[in-house]
Structure 1
Amino acid sequence: MEEIVFSAGPYFIGIVFLIVFVVIIFTVIKGITQWQKNERSPRISVPVTVKTKRTDVRRHANHNDNLVSHSTSTSYYVTFEFESGDRSEFHISGSEYGQLAEGDSGILTFQGTRYLGFERRVGHQA
């Protein structure tokens, strides 16, 4: 029985390596495809209202020479509502996130799924 377990070990490691490799390749291809789609999309500027803001904080542990250091990264997202009632969420920078408030009205400029900017209408809040 032990012979079977030990002889299957290299196959198991090979299968795990293959799965990880396929997932990495799939992720890269998906990213390139989305980038190309955004590049072919028109730049659109439309009136919107900021509906919601959210953050995604991820914690990371780095292991170096028996030392473990922890770090975090934060992604920022804003959901905009169009005059039609449709909504779209965009990933934005932290500095832009800090300048937006829920209820702000203005002009959103985007290209596909790529956020390009928001120009607030002064004195207009929903």
Structure 2
Amino acid sequence: MDTLLVVGFFVLAAVSIFLEIWKQLKLQQQPVLSSPARVAAKYSSARELEDTRGGYSSTPRYVVFELESGRTITLKVGSLYDAIAEGEKGILTYQGDQCLNFQW
């Protein structure tokens, strides 16, 4: 029974790693696009948990951008999350579902 549990764990880990690699390869095939945009909203997908080493959070954070065309897109953002405020306008650079840069 313990062997089956260990094998199951390793299979699950291998599948998770494979899916993450596949997702990253698919993202890299997407074009890098830029557009004038406005920050429409900001949110995180779960309650933020701060690390005692200085406030690091691994909670995914998202920003909803309204493009010049009127279309809205939701993108994952990294360290830009705290620097971006709702209502700000600038040039958005993104690839797939990832925000690469937002310049005011």
The answer to whether the superposition gives a TM-score over 0.5 is: yes
Structure 2 counterpart of 1:58, one-letter code: L
TM-fit CA distance, 1:49: 1.6
- 1:81 counterpart residue number: 66
- 2:13 counterpart residue number: 24
Aligned residues: 98
- Which one has a bigger Cα radius of gyration? 1
Task: For 1:59 and 1:27, locate their aligned partners in 2 and report how far apart those are by CA, in whole Å.
Answer: 25
**Cα displacement string for residues 24-69 of structure 1 (whole angstroms, at most 9, x for unaligned residues):** 1122112111211122111100122212223452368xxxxxxxxx
Alignment of 1:7-22 (within 5 A): 11=1, 13-22=2-11
Query: Gapped runs of 5+ residues in structure 2?
Result: none
Identity of aligned residues (%): 27
Asked if the contact 1:49/1:103 (under 8 Å) is kept, the reply is yes
Whether 1:38 and 2:27 are equivalent positions in the alignment is: yes
* Aligned-pair Cα RMSD in Å: 2.4
> Hey, which of these two has a bigger chunk of helix by percent?
1
Tell which has more relative contact order, 1 or 2 (C-alpha 8 A, sep 6+). Answer: 2
Task: Give the TM-score normalised by the residue count of structure 2.
Answer: 0.73
> Hey, which of these two has a bigger chunk of strand by percent?
1
Task: For 2:7 and 2:74, locate their aligned partners in 1 and report how far apart those are by CA, in whole Å.
Answer: 36
